[in-house]
Amino acid sequence: MDSDDFARRAFVLGGLALMASGCTSAIRRIGEPISMAYAAAPDRRYRRRHVRYEGNEPPGTIVVDTSQRYLYAVEQGGWAMRYGIGVGEEGRTLKGNATIGRKAVWPSWTPTANMIRRKPHLQQYASGVPGGPHNPLGASALYLYRGGQDTMFRLHGTNEPWTIGQAVSSGCIRLTNEDIVDLYERTPLGTTVLVI
């Protein structure tokens, strides 16, 4: 093996190690080059699948299992579409019932005051980030409401697909952009969401 081959392999392996360690930014700045990690896909076990569903929830319900890292769109006859998800960091997730109170394609994103306090580097985005491929909400978002009020929690896409299966967000539920588009199309406003 010549030194160029060795250098290329070291670069690839180093990039993979960086991805595995979770050393990635929460948002990629406009104009930043797309890294190898950015293009990485989630683990195969988190790919969308049509599966048998054993729960008691009625068809049309969305069930988010934060411990197993799966979201189920419950269907008729004991079936569900299962999606791999990324979840909130320890203690940063909504639990219980909510409804889909709003839907948006390529939504804009503004960090909350609490997010900025916890992660001061987000201050640079305090005026918001327009919708698009560099936005952390990804291709679509389903907004979770309780009692007619926005909970500030979302089911949304991500520009970091390698984070699916991990506890990395500020509380929202992440899906790949392809999966959130699929879920968005099959989910009407008013859909019940159960987060366990």
Number of continuous H segments (helices) and E segments (strands) in the chain:
4, 11
The closest alpha carbon to 27, from 95, 151, 144, 126, belongs to 126
Region of residue 69 (phi > 0: left; psi between -120 and 50: alpha; otherwise: beta): left
The closest of 47, 46, 89 to 68, measured between CA atoms, is: 46
User: Residue 143: CB partners within 8 Å, gap ≥ 6?
Assistant: 100, 101, 102, 103, 104, 150, 154
Specify the 3-state DSSP secondary structure of 155.
strand
Q: What angle do CA 180, 150, 153 make, to 5 degrees?
A: 45
Residue 172 among the catalytic residues: yes
Told to judge if 23 belongs to the known catalytic residues of this protein, a careful annotator would answer no
Spatial CA neighbour of 102 closest among 73, 142, 137, 139 = 142
Find the catalytic residue in 23, 50, 134, 156. 156
Q: Are 163 and 147 in contact (CB under 8 A)?
A: no
Question: Is residue 115 a contact partner of residue 169, using CB atoms and an 8 Å limit?
Answer: no
Active site residues: 156, 172
